[in-house]
Amino acid sequence: LIRNFVVFLFLTFSYLIVRSNIYFITKIFSNIILNIFIKMLLLQINKFSRYNFSLFRKFCLHLRANLLLSKTFLSV
């Protein structure tokens, strides 16, 4: 469980780094990075959800909110 939490922290930090660099790189490149990040995150969620499903559902809602935010950032 602790290992999963560390991986989750690492992924969120990498996501924040990608989000802050969106203005400096092209939209297409940032889209590719976001897609790779989301796939990695979904793989981690699949491992994580076996342990606690309620947390997994909350995290999915959180991820969807972040996706909507990132899409609005990219469309601007």
CB distance 76 to 23 below 8 Å: no
Rounded to 5 degrees, what are φ and ψ at 49?
-70, -20
pLDDT of residue 3: 76
Q: Are 27 and 71 in contact (CB under 8 A)?
A: no
- pLDDT, residue 25, reads 52
Model pLDDT, residue 76: 44
Looking up tokens 């991820």, which residue turns up? Answer: 63
Residue 67 exposure: Cα atoms within 13 Å on the Cβ side: 13
- The predicted model scores a pTM of 0.30
Report, as ranges of residue numbers, the positions in the chain whose pLDDT lies below 70: 1, 16-31, 33, 45-61, 63, 65-76
Report the pLDDT value the prediction gives residue 65, as an integer from 0 to 100: 67
